[in-house]
Structure 1
Amino acid sequence: MISPAVAADDKASVPDTFRSASPLERELPHDVEAEQCVLGAMIVSKDAIVEVIAILKGHEFFRPTHETVFRAIYDLYGKGITIDPIVLGRELASRGEITKIGGAPYLHILVQSVPTAANGWHYAEIVKEKFESRRLVSEGMRLMQMGYSETVTTGEAVAATTASLQSLISGAPEAAKLSVSDRWESFIDQLEAGADPKALSTPWPDLDEFVTVSGPMLITVGATTGGGKTLLMLNWGAHVALRLGKPVLVASMEMGGNEILARLTSSEALIPMDRLNKRQLEEGDWLKLANVSDRMENAKNFVLDDTAGLTLSRLRARIRTMWAQGNGPALILVDYLQLLTPDTPSSVRAQEVAALSRGLKVIAMEFDTPVVALSQFNRGAVGRRPLLSDFKESSAIEQDSNVVLLLHEERDENDQPVKPGEVDLIIAKNRQGMSGRVLPMSVRKHYMRIDSWAADAS
């Protein structure tokens, strides 16, 4: 039985396009049972959550109350909180939304409605299909209204409708392909192409030999304070945005926008960082600045977000905004993980950091985009070769990461570099292949650069 409070909101879920068309209002394509089964599966199974969020974003539900429940589940999962009807009910109550869904008993109805959580992805596909059908009906209604209009020419109507239908086609993702037979042809195509077509190269060819950056993955870069991880991040972002021409989002809680821009300028123009900091450029520096000016002025796809107190929710909102503007990031860089502000503070710091790490992994999955997160080491890692267990405040960082890269500069007993200008990039974890590789890198901190050792040291 569906709560009356839930049933009453069906009308509110009808898009404005349909509200003048009462005969169609009750017949809009939807499947309430499938929506209930999706949510029920998500409540009882973590695996179902992972499968569902790969298909649905929340807005596809016909009933606004179901979207409300979906977003509460999504947020709890992103925080690493185990979900059950009691926990979910408290979360909705804290948001002032529990009465909107018809009360806590409705959550138990959702759980009882699902025959098996293993089919959560299948129910999600049904919900997605009904949503696309409603969009199609909407475009049909719009075309009919333009056809009757005295102010819209036939050519204008056809052009507008063609654009809308094209948007509908491009905005409707393929149905999930889960079986081996579904995936096999695409896999063979990739083998014949010799490379993953979605893969992003890095500025370091020797790293590309062992690690493929593609799709939803969390890459964690660890180092001690001053160990070069921010240099690595900015060089990586500049390569993807300025050389590959793909959108990049840098979320920095460590530095402000001007400081990031100064480091980026030093790296791109090869102007010593100390002269940029002191605003004491020489004549040759101005010439170098002029050479990169056009590149920097047109770097609209290189987004620097230095919002204070950045949370996962705000980061997600920034990414959604970029997608809405047609500039969805191909790479997301976070500097650094431990400085993110928890959406729900905890008295146990390890739990907070674990929730942040898991949240970044969820964001990578949600947007099908690689996320590179910088992370600090514990103080005990200073002066020795780092280990996976050295991440500050939580072992979940290593567990959630697909790839872990560690930066290490060998120093003597007087804390002086044993090999000046060189740092080791250690592939400490690599779910795609071999780990344990140590790649020597050339470091020019005065130019804010980390390069492959064989790279031209110009």
Structure 2
Amino acid sequence: MSIADTDFDDVYVPEPDDDQLPIPVARQALERKQPNDLAAEQAVLGAMMLSVSAVSEVIATLNGPGDFYRPAHETIYRAILDLHDRSGGDTPPDPILVAGELTTRGELQQVGGANYLHTCVNAVPTAANAGHYAEKVRDFAAWRKLIKTGTRLAAQGYAAMGEAPKAVQDAMAELQQLVAGTADVAPRLTVAERWQEFIDDQERGLDPRALDTPWPDINEVVQLLPGNLLTVGAATAGGKSLFGMNLAQHVALHRNKPVLVASMEMSGKELMARLTSAESGVYLEHLVKHKLDDNDWEKIAKVSDVMRNAHNFYLDDSASQTLSKLRAKLRWMASRGHAPAMLVCDYLQLMTPENTKATANRAQEVGEISRGLKMIAGEFEIPVVALAQFNRNAANRDRPKVSDFKDASAIEQDSNIIILLHRELAEDGTDTGPTAGTVEAIISKNRSGPSGRVVPLAFQGHMARLASMARL
């Protein structure tokens, strides 16, 4: 028997492209009944035909008409929604009104006639339980979506067609869509429910979710909050990598919170040399050239325990990074008991775009990456720090502007905070002149605080540091 000849009344109904699955995979999928609770579906529809408030409660709980297993129930649900919308929510869509609506559409007999509508009403003891039954319908729909997705992914694996790395990335993207599609659509908390926590935070004098930076002057105006995208821009040799690494080092080593640094510009050994130099005070050149004296070894010994136990500080030097890969790595950290507190991406324009149209230009690709990093910040409820490169012509002006970001105008829109680093260099690239040894951190955008502040930082490249001038 072919897939097209199978009776799908109580078994898995393949997606339109599922007839291409390998026969063994398709047959296994067809042999098992899909999870469902038809009694709960009847109770949901019955409650909606009894009470206007039940309609609102069900709408807030379900992800949509597709959550119903039986097609007839989906048809009835759509009719109830249309009646509810037309009445403005003032009139209960009782069985008589629903029967009339279905008759007008020519669908009444398809769903079992008017008698079946009354069967649904009789199936629910009280409309007050509508939310409970709707949760059951939603949960069973989630299980069915998981089975369909898993079956499709398994079939692709058996077929072994295409490039394996891309197939894995596509699978992660599909699973991510499944997660988003099964999320609770009801509003999370009312003002009343949020009020006491808000007042408690005010009394504490700080937001307990916020991360600080190692620079007190920047902390006066900037908070790193969950869901925020902080973009740090600079020209070549402007100090953006030092900024990102020093920030990650502070959060991971001195605040003991898990951090992922994804660097597409430096190798793991380079990152370790910079981290060790910044933490110990050993000159970076000594570490790079493996020329350590006794004084250097004494300094390293003092930080050895901290570094040896930094199991929550991940340095990823993969040359090719995509948004899907970053999501997968953050989930992997969480599975190891190190739920990430911050992601640092160095740097944005070096990331590999995903699912890009052939007609897309580089600015559109970078814009998609910027929006993707913003979504990751919200999805994992962490601040994401994206380092970004300026255009070449930015070096010819006194101070950079937000419009100087290379290949992307979307960065300004996506970012909650933008810090532009300005370091005056001579024409030959040397750090000379009246501002030698200084980097200006310009707070160009700050949605949760004042913007326009210029914070001077000491550029200590020989120790891979940007230091606070307040401490010098």
Per the shorter chain, which TM-score range?
0.5 to 0.7
Q: Which has the larger radius of gyration?
A: 2
SS of equivalent residue, structure 2 residue 207: coil
Which of 251, 272, 291 is residue 302 of structure 2 equivalent to? Answer: 291
**What letter corresponds to residue 64 of structure 2 in structure 1?**
Q
Is 1:254–2:254 an aligned residue pair?
Answer: no
1:418 shift after superposition: 3.1
Return closer, same or farther for 1:294/1:219 CA change in 2, 3 Å cut-off: same
1:38 shift after superposition: 8.4
Which of 298, 311, 336 is residue 300 of structure 1 equivalent to? Answer: 311
Which of 223, 243, 252 is residue 212 of structure 1 equivalent to? Answer: 223
Is 1:331–2:412 an aligned residue pair?
Answer: no
Partners in 2 of 1:438 and 1:286 — Cα distance?
37
Is 1:9–2:12 an aligned residue pair?
Answer: yes
> Which residue in the other structure is 1:277 paired with?
288
- 8 Å Cα contact 1:248-1:331 kept in structure 2: yes
SS of equivalent residue, structure 1 residue 62: helix
Is 1:423–2:439 an aligned residue pair?
Answer: yes
25-34 or 187-196, larger mean C-alpha shift: 25-34
Which of 386, 391, 394 is residue 408 of structure 2 equivalent to? Answer: 394
1:411 shift after superposition: 4.0
> Which residue in the other structure is 2:452 paired with?
436
Is 1:237–2:248 an aligned residue pair?
Answer: yes
1:180 shift after superposition: 2.2
> Which residue in the other structure is 2:330 paired with?
319
Return closer, same or farther for 1:236/1:60 CA change in 2, 3 Å cut-off: farther
SS of equivalent residue, structure 1 residue 382: helix
Which of 367, 379, 387 is residue 392 of structure 2 equivalent to? Answer: 379
SS of equivalent residue, structure 2 residue 217: helix
Partners in 2 of 1:450 and 1:424 — Cα distance?
10
Partners in 1 of 2:39 and 2:379 — Cα distance?
26
> Which residue in the other structure is 1:409 paired with?
423
Partners in 1 of 2:396 and 2:140 — Cα distance?
51
1:351 shift after superposition: 0.8
SS of equivalent residue, structure 1 residue 215: coil
> Which residue in the other structure is 2:275 paired with?
264
Q: CA RMSD in A?
A: 3.7
> Which residue in the other structure is 2:64 paired with?
36
1:292 shift after superposition: 1.0
SS of equivalent residue, structure 2 residue 333: helix
1:302 shift after superposition: 0.4
1:343 shift after superposition: 1.3
1:372 shift after superposition: 0.2
Deviations 1:399-458 (A, max 9, x none): 1000000100134566644311111000000001211100011111000010110114xx
> Which residue in the other structure is 2:192 paired with?
181
TM-score by length of 2: 0.64
Return closer, same or farther for 1:249/1:125 CA change in 2, 3 Å cut-off: same
Deviations 1:159-184 (A, max 9, x none): xxxxxxxxxxxxxxxx8534322222
- 8 Å Cα contact 2:63-2:184 kept in structure 1: no
Is 1:61–2:142 an aligned residue pair?
Answer: yes
Deviations 1:373-417 (A, max 9, x none): 000000110132000100000100111000000100134566644
Partners in 2 of 1:29 and 1:411 — Cα distance?
74
SS of equivalent residue, structure 1 residue 287: helix
SS of equivalent residue, structure 1 residue 426: strand
Return closer, same or farther for 1:333/1:180 CA change in 2, 3 Å cut-off: same
1:295 shift after superposition: 0.8
Deviations 1:292-328 (A, max 9, x none): 1111110000001112211110110000111111101
Partners in 2 of 1:327 and 1:192 — Cα distance?
30
Return closer, same or farther for 1:387/1:61 CA change in 2, 3 Å cut-off: same
> Which residue in the other structure is 1:114 paired with?
none
Which of 356, 361, 374 is residue 361 of structure 1 equivalent to? Answer: 374
Partners in 2 of 1:394 and 1:179 — Cα distance?
37
Aligned residues: 335
Gaps of 5+ in 2: 1-6, 15-31, 45-57, 68-138, 154-166, 175-179
Partners in 1 of 2:246 and 2:400 — Cα distance?
22
**What letter corresponds to residue 9 of structure 1 in structure 2?**
Y
- 8 Å Cα contact 1:443-1:450 kept in structure 2: yes
Deviations 1:229-258 (A, max 9, x none): 111111101111111011000011011111
> Which residue in the other structure is 1:445 paired with?
461
Return closer, same or farther for 1:180/1:203 CA change in 2, 3 Å cut-off: same
Partners in 1 of 2:203 and 2:393 — Cα distance?
47
Return closer, same or farther for 1:420/1:217 CA change in 2, 3 Å cut-off: same
**What letter corresponds to residue 380 of structure 2 in structure 1?**
F
SS of equivalent residue, structure 1 residue 61: helix
SS of equivalent residue, structure 1 residue 338: helix
Partners in 2 of 1:431 and 1:341 — Cα distance?
28
SS of equivalent residue, structure 1 residue 197: coil
Partners in 2 of 1:424 and 1:218 — Cα distance?
20
SS of equivalent residue, structure 2 residue 143: coil
Partners in 2 of 1:417 and 1:357 — Cα distance?
35
> Which residue in the other structure is 1:228 paired with?
239
Return closer, same or farther for 1:6/1:66 CA change in 2, 3 Å cut-off: farther
> Which residue in the other structure is 2:184 paired with?
125
SS of equivalent residue, structure 2 residue 470: coil
SS of equivalent residue, structure 1 residue 221: strand
Partners in 1 of 2:416 and 2:64 — Cα distance?
33
Partners in 2 of 1:6 and 1:215 — Cα distance?
46
1:369 shift after superposition: 0.4
TM-score by length of 1: 0.66
Gaps of 5+ in 1: 12-21, 40-57, 73-91, 101-120, 127-174
Partners in 2 of 1:60 and 1:219 — Cα distance?
37
SS of equivalent residue, structure 2 residue 456: strand
Return closer, same or farther for 1:306/1:413 CA change in 2, 3 Å cut-off: closer
